[in-house]
Amino acid sequence: MKQVLIFWFCLSLGWGIKAGHNHSDFQVSLNDGGAFSVVFDNYAYPEEYTSFFLSDLDPGSYRMKIFRFYFAGWNCPPKKKMVYNGWVQIPPASILHGQIDCYGNFITVFQGPKFPPPPPPVCAPVYYPSCGGGHYGHGHSCGGYGPGYGSNMMPMNIYDFQNLKNTLAGISFDRTRLQVAQQAVAGNYFTAGQVAEMMRLFSFESNRLDLAKFAWSKTVDRQNYYLVNNAFTFSSSVQELNKYIATQS
């Protein structure tokens, strides 16, 4: 009897582990970094978000509605407008990061494995062209983790990125926050949307600009770097960043 119980315990444990490895993480934001609310799988989340994150989702199709907040005037509640109403397909054992574009479409920014894959083979380098011509990165000809990302150019996954944002938000001094952010950027790759999210954690415009310059070389989708402009307060910062980028090409 004891052996039977042990057998069923091990079997159920194996099923649980297998099921857990099938779960996925999901993150969505607006392409310009605006604030929004979410109805996901018929549940209305009460918070206001600039980046919405769910972990351990079962694979499958989920209904999602996103309502954007608009400024309605001083001392007035913000207006809401539905900018997305559709289905999201969650793949198994994956990390899915999407954005809602200005036309109300869901765009996949990044999709990759949630659990570490085996080490990739050594292959010939492949260069990935940006939309504007030129090249913005390299990977390997025998496999990567998604369009535009080589096996050595995966952007930071959404779980680690959320931990990084929490760390940055908990730092009192803006200059120290910049040093920690630069340390993280130096050892990782990011999407343009992730860079913009980090920039919004800073109080001073000069530090946002310093981070935008520093992160340019570690961004996997440079064709989308216009997204960081939304994190600036002054147009002069946008102009200075553009001048800097022009010197790097």
Q: What is the pTM of this model?
A: 0.49
pLDDT at position 208: 94
Model confidence at 145: pLDDT above 80: no
Structure-block tokens of residue 56:
């351990």
89 burial via Cβ count (<10 Å: 0-12, 13-18, 19+):
exposed
Work out the percent of the chain whose per-residue pLDDT is above 90. Answer: 36
SS3 184: helix
* Rounded distance between C-alpha atoms, residue 127 and residue 32, angstroms: 28
Every domain of the chain and the residues it spans: 25-113, 116-154, 156-248
Q: Both ends of the chain: CA-CA distance in Å?
A: 72
Model confidence at 14: pLDDT above 70: no
Structure-block tokens of residue 2:
């004891």
Other residues' Cβ atoms within 10 Å of the Cβ of residue 166 = 10
Residue 204's alpha-carbon distances to 19, 21, 40, 230, 237, in angstroms, are 45, 42, 35, 15, 12
Model confidence at 141: pLDDT above 80: no
Backbone dihedral region of 134: left (phi > 0), alpha (psi from -120 to 50 degrees) or beta? left
| Per-residue model confidence as pLDDT tens digits over 149-208 | 444 578 888 778 888 998 898 888 999 999 999 999 998 999 888 999 999 999 999 999
Residue 85: CB partners within 8 Å, gap ≥ 6? 64, 65, 66
- Cβ-contact 220, 191 below 8 angstroms: yes
Structure-block tokens of residue 57:
């989702």
| Per-residue model confidence as pLDDT tens digits over 83-120 | 999 999 999 988 888 889 888 999 888 787 876 554 44
Structure-block tokens of residue 159:
């779980």
Model confidence at 226: pLDDT above 70: yes
Q: How many helices (H) and strands (E) does the chain have?
A: 6, 12
Paired strand residues for 63: 87
